């Protein structure tokens, strides 16, 4: 090697080092500029948000992400509108949100969205033990120095100028006391970010906000850490989460019935957030928050997946109401949850798949009437029940509802919730009737409601891969048929978190039934959950309703056999049951109008008059309208507050609730048993409507009617008004009956129907020796 060559090499090396140092300097400058810009951006956004702190909002700035050493969260904001997890962005290029992607200067920025969602989930988990539903926790990306308003899934994207006004218009979810508790809790879970101890972020450390340096920000409203009561006996605690929840429940009770809650019981939140490895079921008696959990879960799943969520019920009026509730709760996700009645959904599904069908209830009914005349009326069936209704139900709910296609299957079938023992000749006669009906229906070229579900099930089973649903939630599942449940199962199979069935066998208002195992759905272990705390009904109302079904043991859809009087934990809020007795229906109707007027116009939107039959629904609508009381038909109610009293049938009221419920004709089940009519007078369950011949059929009908009455009574939160018409001769007969009146039941109306007193305590009749 020559000397000159060595000097040249040293010069080259020096140049290389100089270049490297220059590059490092530029990189450091760019980095410093970025940090400066970022912290400036944070300052600007914080300044906007500080305007909210005077209005009950708490701002936590630059907090450490729990479980990480250095990753931070730009801001956590807690206020009346809920909890917002905020990531501040100071980007040179303008952000764009289109086609489900976030870009800036054509560069993809979806990773930033994913990081924000991850820290939002950490926040949700941190707040679940307080009972805060995940729907109250929202991710928010704020762009400093920009004007922007968009959304990507559940992530709201707002410019610096838009953020404060948008948050101020959020619906109120948390009271001031809750805001303080939630903020204090978050302050503990997300400690202040400390650089000295944190050190540099290791490679791959997740960060919600990018690796921002800890920059001093504008002064932040201090949030004093507040002790949260850990145990009920800790009387010194300043804030008791349980008491706050009770206060929230009370506030919700005072508000309009349509107001839904943000704070649930921690057990409910656990169900909302739970990961189930396959189909799951939430059961539990009336008013225990099953629908609340199901709706919060729908919102939660919609927040976590990109697929659609199908939320199905049997009743056609409920989907509208539930959609309204979800929109109020979580407007960001409502577009991805499809609320449908099962039959409406199945028809749309068939149309979408190009499968010909022709639903025509009237013609199908006509086909059945003819089949009954030809094959049923003069058969052995008439000896059991001469009216065709029971046999129509047998075909609808047992044969077609369960997808039975051969007599061999039907001949030995266990008919759930059907009491009459059908021997072989009866089953043969039913089968003949069924075949004749099918022949006449096919001749007319029409389908009935069951056919629609059967066609949809065949299609869904044949092409299962084409289902667009990430999850299916079925509410009031006890009233679906087996074919209906199989259809829903076929849409998602046994996928994790795929199928959730919500309902209560005690509230079945249609005949027939099924077991989940018949549908091949396994919900053993932690996938079968039961709620027990009744949040809806005043204790007096719950007691009165349970007295009606106390002796009616029933089989739930999971196969468990349960007593009519179940283990329910009431929440003991005040309420009243008025049992008003009259000698004629006119006096009863006049008293009903009096009761509505006495409570006043302001109570009408939260009041309902519920009837056993459609004919009565029409009658009471006209009665109220003639009296100048505005009316809203339950069929048309969509969950938004309306000025009128809701009027509808017991079946239409299923799944709903009202502060004040009036049942002008609750039927004979609140009364002692009539002892005539050839039926046993030893049990009040023995009462049956006239026309039935077979005792078991009569008992089955009566049991179903009591279940319907139970459902109607448990729709009432605060007051329940029962208008009983008692004929004078029935009174006389009853005097000799083997029943006694428990407690003091005072008739508040005299014999001519004049109002004597406003309220009387309800006292159910009890059979001596039964301890009802």
Ligand X SMILES: Nc1ncnc2c1ncn2[C@@H]1O[C@H](COP(=O)(O)OP(=O)(O)OP(=O)(O)O)[C@@H](O)[C@H]1O
Binding residue ranges for ATP: 284-291
Cα–Cα dist 754/733, whole Å: 24
In the bound state with ligand X, the residue whose beta carbon lies nearer, of 261 and 580, is 261
The Cα 438–Cα 448 span in angstroms is: 10
Of the pair 261, 546, the CB lying nearest ligand X is at: 261
Which residues are CB-neighbours of 270 under 8 A, at least 6 positions away? 128
| Distance in angstroms (rounded) separating the CA atoms of residues 253 and 718 | 9
The answer to the question of residue 247 lying near ligand X (CB under 6 A) is: no
Q: Structure tokens of 674?
A: 């009539």
For residues 315 and 149, what is the distance between their CA atoms, to the nearest angstrom?
38
Q: Distance between CA 695 and CA 420 in Å, rounded?
A: 8
Taking the C-alpha atoms of residue 364 and residue 210, their distance in angstroms, rounded to an integer, is 65
> Tokens in use for 514?
């099924």
Name which of 501, 503, 507 is nearest 488 in CA terms: 501
Spell out, one character per residue from 287 to 316, where the chain touches ligand X: x when CB under 6 A holds, - when not.
Answer: xxxxxx------------------------
Q: Is 261 in the site for ligand X (CB under 6 A)?
A: yes
Of 103-111, 133-141, 256-264, 633-641, the window that binds ligand X (rule: CB under 6 A) is 256-264
Strand partners, 500: 280, 473
Q: Which of residues 446-505 bind ligand X (CB under 6 A)?
A: 504
Contact window for ligand X (CB under 6 A) among 217-225, 263-271, 675-683, 738-746: 263-271
State in angstroms the smallest separation of the CB of 752 from ligand X: 37
Does residue 575 belong to the site contacting ligand X (CB under 6 A)?
no
Which C-beta is closer to ligand X: that of 460 or that of 508?
A: 508
Nearest distance in Å: CB 476, ligand X: 7
Binding of residue 264 to ligand X (CB under 6 A): yes
Q: Report the alpha-carbon distance of residue 765 to residue 564 in Å, rounded.
A: 16
Stretch that binds ligand X, among 59-67, 104-112, 285-293, 332-340 (CB under 6 A): 285-293
By CB under 6 A, name the one of 73, 280, 286, 329 that touches ligand X.
286
Tokens of 600: 């006043």
Query: Using CB under 6 A, which residues numbered 644 to 673 contact ligand X?
Result: 655, 657
Tell me if 317 contacts ligand X by CB under 6 A. Answer: no
- List the interface residues with ligand X, window 139-168 (CB under 6 A): none
Contact between 714 and ligand X per CB under 6 A: yes
Residue from 527, 536, 579, 659 in contact with ligand X (CB under 6 A): 536
Least Cα distance to 708 among 632, 641, 772, 652 occurs for 652
Closer Cβ to ligand X, 251 or 359, answer by number: 251
Shortest Å distance, C-beta 642 to ligand X: 18
Listed ranges 12-20, 64-72, 260-268, 592-600: which one lies at the site for ligand X (CB under 6 A): 260-268
Q: Which of the ranges 257-265, 521-529, 619-627, 728-736 carries the binding residues for ligand X, by CB under 6 A? A: 257-265
- Give me the least distance between CB of 239 and ligand X, in Å please: 18
- In order, the DSSP letters of 97-161 are EETTEEEETTEE-HHHHHHHHHHHHHHHHHHGGGTB-GGGEEEEEEETT---EEEETTEEEEEHH
Q: Based on CB atoms, which residue is closest to ligand X, 300 or 415?
A: 300
Please name which of 35, 70, 75, 87 lies closest in space to residue 218, comparing C-alpha atoms.
75
Query: Backbone phi, then psi, for 681, in 5-degree steps?
Result: -105, 15
Say whether residue 249 binds ligand X (CB under 6 A): yes
Write down the least CB distance from residue 293 to ligand X, Å.
7
Element spanning 361, H or E: helix 361-371
Out of 123, 144, 268, 379, point to the residue binding ligand X (CB under 6 A).
268
Report, in Å, the least distance between residue 244 CB and ligand X.
Answer: 11
Residue number, 201 or 249, with CB nearest to ligand X: 249
Shortest reach from residue 137's CB to ligand X, in Å:
17
Residues 645 and 632 sit within 8 Å (Cβ to Cβ): yes
Residue 563 Cβ, how far from ligand X at the closest point, in Å?
17
Counting contacts by CB under 6 A, is residue 283 touching ligand X? Answer: no
What's the min distance (Å) between Cβ of 475 and ligand X? 7
Which of 245, 767, 762, 244 lies closest to 538 in space, CA to CA? Answer: 762
CB of 367 to ligand X, least distance (A): 35
Rounded Cα–Cα distance for residues 524 and 501 (Å) = 13
In the bound state with ligand X, the residue whose beta carbon lies nearer, of 429 and 508, is: 508
Select from 64, 115, 185, 265 the one that contacts ligand X (CB under 6 A): 265
- Per DSSP, which regions of 509-572 are E strands? 528-530, 533-534, 554-555, 561-562, 569-570
Locate 576 and state its tokens. Answer: 């009243």
Q: How many CA atoms lie within 13 A of 691 on its CB side?
A: 8
Nearer to ligand X among residue 547 and residue 688 (C-beta): 547
CA quadruple 422, 428, 434, 438: dihedral, nearest 10:
160
Least separation, in Å, of the C-beta of 258 and ligand X?
Answer: 10
User: DSSP for 666-683?
Assistant: --GGGSPPP--TTS-SS-
Q: Where does this chain touch ligand X (CB under 6 A) — which range of 81-89, 258-266, 416-424, 560-568?
A: 258-266
Q: What angle do CA 758, 763, 767 make, to 5 degrees?
A: 155
> How crowded is residue 641: how many other Cβ atoms within 10 Å of its Cβ?
13
Segment lying near ligand X (by CB under 6 A), choices 220-228, 259-267, 296-304, 436-444: 259-267
- Say whether residue 718 binds ligand X (CB under 6 A): no
On whether the CB atoms of residues 194 and 214 are closer than 8 A, the answer is yes
Q: How far is the CB of 318 from ligand X (least distance, A)?
A: 10
Q: 709 and 547 in contact (C-beta within 8 Å)?
A: no
How big is the site for ligand X, counted in residues (CB under 6 A)?
A: 22
The sheet carrying 645-649 orders its strands as 576-582, 716-725, 658-663, 607-611, 645-649, 631-633
CA 381, 387, 389, 390 dihedral sign is negative
Query: Quick one: 75 or 292, whose CB is closer to ligand X?
Result: 292
Which of residues 185 and 536 has its CB atom nearest to ligand X in the complex? 536
Nearer to ligand X by Cβ, of 91 and 554: the residue is 554
In this complex, which beta carbon is closest to ligand X, that of residue 272 or of residue 670? 272
Distance CA 433, CA 392 (A): 9
Query: Site mask, ligand X, residues 611-650, x = CB under 6 A?
Result: ----------------------------------------
Which CB sits closer to ligand X, 707 or 724?
707
Whole-number minimum distance, CB 539 to ligand X, in Å? 14
At closest approach, how far in Å is the CB of 277 from ligand X?
24
Q: Enter the tokens of residue 163.
A: 């953020």
Binding residue numbers: 284-291
Give the whole-angstrom CA distance, residue 321 versus residue 533: 23
Q: Which is nearer to ligand X, 39 or 534 (CB)?
A: 534
Q: What's the burial of 673, exposed, middle or buried (CB within 10 Å: 0-12/13-18/19+)? A: buried
Contact 646, 608 (CB under 8 A): yes
> With respect to ligand X, which residue has the nearer C-beta, 284 or 513?
284
424: left (phi over 0), alpha (psi -120 to 50) or beta: alpha
Which residues contact ligand X by CB under 6 A?
Answer: 249, 252, 260-261, 264-265, 268, 284, 286-292, 504, 507, 535-536, 655, 657, 714
């Amino acid at each position: 090697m020559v000397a000159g060559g060595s000097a040249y090499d040293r010069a080259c090396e020096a140049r290389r080092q100089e270049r490297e140092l220059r590059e490092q300097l530029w990189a450091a400058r760019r980095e410093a500029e970025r940090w400066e810009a970022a912290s400036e951006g944070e300052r600007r956004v914080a300044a906007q948000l500080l305007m909210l702190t005077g209005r009950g909002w708490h701002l936590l700035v630059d907090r450490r992400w729990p479980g990480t050493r250095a990753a931070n969260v730009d801001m956590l904001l807690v206020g009346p509108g809920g909890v917002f997890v905020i990531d501040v962005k100071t980007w040179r290029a303008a952000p764009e949100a289109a086609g489900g992607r976030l870009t800036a200067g054509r560069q993809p920025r979806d990773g930033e969205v994913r990081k924000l969602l991850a820290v939002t989930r950490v926040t949700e988990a941190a707040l679940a033990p307080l009972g805060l539903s995940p729907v109250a926790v929202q991710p928010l990306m704020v762009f400093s120095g920009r004007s922007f308003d968009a959304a990507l899934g559940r992530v709201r994207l707002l410019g610096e100028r838009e953020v404060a006004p948008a948050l101020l218009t959020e619906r109120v979810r948390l009271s001031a006391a809750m805001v303080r508790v939630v903020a204090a809790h978050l302050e503990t879970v997300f400690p202040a970010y400390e650089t000295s101890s944190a050190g540099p972020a290791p490679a791959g450390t997740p960060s919600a906000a990018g690796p921002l340096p800890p920059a001093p920000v504008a002064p932040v409203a201090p949030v004093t850490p507040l002790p949260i009561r850990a145990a009920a006996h800790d009387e010194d605690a300043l804030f008791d989460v349980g008491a706050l929840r009770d206060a929230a429940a009370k506030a919700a009770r005072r508000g309009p019935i349509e107001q839904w809650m943000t704070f649930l019981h921690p057990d409910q939140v656990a169900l909302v957030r739970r990961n189930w490895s396959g189909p799951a079921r939430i059961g539990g008696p009336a008013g225990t928050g099953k629908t609340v959990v199901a709706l919060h879960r729908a919102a939660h799943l919609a927040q976590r997946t990109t697929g659609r969520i199908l939320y199905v019920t049997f009743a056609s009026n409920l989907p509208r109401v539930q959609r309204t509730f979800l929109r109020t709760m979580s407007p960001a996700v409502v577009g991805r949850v499809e609320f449908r009645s099962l039959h409406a959904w199945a028809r749309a599904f068939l149309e979408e798949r190009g499968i010909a069908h022709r639903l025509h209830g009237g013609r199908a009914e006509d086909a059945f009437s003819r089949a009954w005349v030809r094959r049923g009326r003069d058969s052995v069936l008439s000896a059991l029940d001469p009216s065709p209704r029971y046999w129509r139900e047998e075909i609808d709910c047992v044969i077609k509802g369960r997808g039975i296609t051969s007599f061999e299957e039907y001949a030995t079938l266990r008919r759930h919730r059907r009491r009459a023992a059908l021997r072989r000749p009866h089953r043969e006669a039913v089968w003949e009737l069924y075949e004749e009906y099918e022949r006449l229906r096919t001749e007319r070229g029409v389908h009935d409601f069951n056919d629609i579900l059967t066609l949809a099930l065949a299609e869904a089973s044949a092409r299962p891969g084409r289902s667009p649903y990430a999850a299916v939630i079925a509410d009031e599942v006890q009233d679906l048929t087996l074919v209906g449940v199989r259809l829903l199962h076929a849409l998602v199979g046994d996928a994790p978190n795929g199928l959730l069935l919500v309902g209560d066998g005690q509230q079945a208002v249609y005949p027939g039934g099924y077991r989940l195992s018949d549908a091949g759905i396994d919900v053993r272990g932690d996938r079968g959950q039961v709620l027990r705390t009744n949040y809806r009904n005043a204790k007096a109302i719950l007691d009165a309703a349970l007295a009606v079904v106390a002796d009616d043991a029933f089989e739930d859809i999971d196969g468990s056999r349960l007593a009519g009087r179940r283990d329910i934990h009431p929440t003991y809020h005040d309420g009243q049951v008025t049992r008003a007795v009259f000698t004629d229906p006119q006096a009863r109707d006049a008293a009903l109008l009096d009761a509505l007027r006495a409570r006043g116009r302001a109570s009408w939107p939260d009041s309902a008059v519920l009837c056993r039959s459609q004919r009565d629904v029409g009658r009471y609508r006209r009665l109220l309208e003639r009296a100048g009381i505005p009316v809203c038909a339950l069929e048309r109610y969509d969950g938004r507050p309306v000025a009128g009293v809701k009027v509808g049938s017991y079946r239409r009221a299923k799944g709903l609730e009202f502060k004040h419920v009036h049942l002008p004709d609750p039927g004979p089940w609140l009364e002692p048993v009539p002892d005539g009519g050839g039926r046993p007078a030893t049990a009040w369950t023995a009462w049956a409507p006239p026309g039935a011949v077979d005792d078991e059929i009569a008992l089955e009908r009566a049991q179903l009617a009591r279940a319907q009455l139970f459902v109607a009574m448990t729709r009432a939160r605060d007051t329940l008004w029962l208008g009983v018409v008692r004929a004078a001769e029935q009174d006389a007969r009853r005097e000799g009956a083997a029943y006694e009146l428990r407690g003091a039941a005072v008739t508040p109306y005299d014999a001519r129907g004049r109002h004597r007193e406003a309220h009387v305590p309800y006292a159910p009749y009890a059979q001596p020796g039964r301890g009802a």
